[in-house]
Amino acid sequence: MKFSINRARLSVLSLACVSAFSASAQTDPNHSLGEVVVTASRNPQLLSSASAHTTVITREDIEQSQATDLVTLLQRDASLQRTQNGGIGTVSSVFLRGLASLDTLVLIDGVPQNKQDASGTVSLEHIMLDNVERVEVVRGNVSAIYGSGAIGGVIQIFTRNESRDPSANLSLEVGPRGTAKISAGASMRAGDTTLNAGASRYTTDGFSSINTVQYSTANPDPDGYQNVSSHASISHALTKDHRIGFQITQSEGKTSYDATWLTPVDQQSAHTNLNQATLYSDNTWGRWHSHLSYSEQSDRSFSLDTNISRFNTKADVLSWVNNLPIGDYWLGTAGLEEQHQHIDTYSDSIYSPPYDQSRVADAVFLGLEGCFGAATLQLNVRSDKVGNLAQDTFYVGAGYSLSDSWKITASNSSAFNAPPLGYLYLPDYGNPLLKPELAQSHEVGLQYEKEKQLLRATYFDTRMQDQLEYVGTKFTNINQTRNTGVEFSYRATYGNTEARASWTEQNPVNALTGQVLQRRARTMISLGLSQNLGAWNVGGDVRYAGERPDVYYDPVGPSSNLNLPAYTVLDLTLSYRLSSEWLFKSRIDNVTDEKYQTVYGYNQQPLSLYAGVTWTPKR
């Protein structure tokens, strides 16, 4: 689902709800209600109207940050904790509200990413930002809207879409350790047909990801990374109410990495290819809007250490979503979804027998959102059948405007996560009797919005049962976990200054033992500031993560528990507009050269200076 489709038409409902309570909200040109998001309810709505705590990273934010990859960008949000086994391109995890990556649903243009191997974790580390238009993050249980996996929340990535006016761009960037990036993109319109395409190539010699003091048997060589990504889309307006389109995205990453159990001369590498293709049709008949899409999405991985391993995971997704306004202030949603999920593997190791498994996942969902007076309401129910597992979920969210600026929100929701096929059928380690993870969440929030300021504070309490774990030699349902906390997000514009802040205080624990979950920080803070000075723009971001528990896995002896120390990292950016067509940009990552780890034994990027130019030719 492209973000631009019928954005204006469907956001009218949100505007009507706002005007029903506060006429000044629409007449004040400095009011911050212009930001429209899609993910919170599956329909375009004003950011301030979303029941769930939602944040958005726009294309302007991406360009200001000068970040290269998605994982680096997401760490700017304090509710999203990033862990990574080294530098760019290495294995990464994102903990949303203290829950594992397995429990956060990732969407690309509305299509769920279904990695079905024994990790179950989407390969976010290979998604480059040159092809990304915006990212929306919804926190909390929204399985009633999106199905399996949305316990911690949803991260939706929107790829670059068509522009009304022809445009083109070319960017070059260089940095330390042989780092270089080139990207190009173009968009055009021919009558009722619009086209957009882009490609990028990134390469670096990298640094030694593993700390050889902590793991003396590892190879101390630099761990390089290469990535080639591309995207293309075409859409055609049959009439003003009917449009068809096709879009495709691809990312190929090649990573060198170090393993803790091998010798200092051994080398390891991995090759991952992500692909997604979608054919869609958008149609409007009177007030009824319909979006029908068919997608093929795959994650193919090949690794080489002492053995050769291959993992192919694929999903075909058919989705039909319908919206119908009910009166002036309500919108009904109904939809069907069917997924065909598949995995096949190969390894030349006798300890990793191959397997080949498939299943079908079906769902039906309903939603209702709207307002009465100063109150807003969102109701969603969904019934999913994933293989032989069936689960119903719900979401109830409400808001009440206390004044033009202040609003209170509350929600109650349930969610689930079906075990990936690898958890069920991995030879010798899988468990076909696994149950789905189940979760319940309660939230209460307070929101302040005025003159291009938006502050949101949310208290949350999420409880999960039948958590999926790998214990001994088997996947099993074992733990009950709970996370309670408060999260704050703030964005504001003061003249030529943009400010951003987020702060999370949480307690993600095993509900049976009270032990803090591995690698989860209780305190996370992120602050950002950018200042426009005519042709110059300067910016800075600082992020803090508190102490986290981790485990030292001894290659020859018993494992031991330890704590990773807290860290603070400062990044700076600078850009200069040379002319209307040329932009110079530079950034310094890890300005203070902080020595820190997000996974025990794996170094993070040292002090690094990058510089580049972007050319945007005139029409």
DSSP states along 228-290: EEEEEEEEEEEETTEEEEEEEEEEEEEEEE--TTS-TT--EEEEEEEEEEEEEEEEEETTEEE
Domains and CATH numbers, the chain: 7-424+435-468+482-504+525-535 (2.40.170.20)
What are the beta bridge partners of residue 562?
550
What is the rounded distance in angstroms from the CA atom of residue 379 to the CA atom of residue 110? 20
3-state secondary structure 14-83: HHHHHHHHCCHHHHCCCCCCCCEECCCCCCCEEHHHCCCCEEEECHHHHHHHCCCEHHHHHCCCCCEEEE
pLDDT in tens, 430-462: 999 999 999 999 999 999 999 899 999 999 999
- The alpha carbon dihedral of 72, 76, 80, 86 has a sign of positive
Residues of the chain with pLDDT under 70: 1-34, 162-164, 262
Beta pairing, strands 104-108 & 80-84: unpaired
**Neighbouring C-beta atoms of residue 507, cutoff 10 Å:** 14
What residues pair up with 205 in beta bridges, in sequence order?
none
pLDDT digits (tens, 9 = 90+) for 553-609: 877 777 889 999 999 999 999 999 999 999 999 999 999 999 999 999 999 999 999
Identify the pLDDT of residue 14. 53
CA pair distance 169, 185, nearest whole angstrom: 5
Among 171, 176, 172, residue whose Cα is nearest residue 204: 176
H or E element that contains 13: helix 7-21
| Alpha carbon distance 167, 617 (integer Å) | 8
Tell me if 512 sits within 8 A of 499, measured CB to CB: no
Contact 86, 257 (CB under 8 A): yes
Reference 268, options 12, 467, 86, 2; nearest CA is 86
Q: Is 422 helix (H, G, I), strand (E, B) or coil?
A: helix
**In 10 A of CB 403, how many CB atoms?**
11
First vs last C-alpha separation in the chain = 28
Burial grade of 34 (CB within 10 A; 0-12, 13-18, 19 or more): exposed
Tokens of 354: 């191959």
pLDDT at site 32: 47
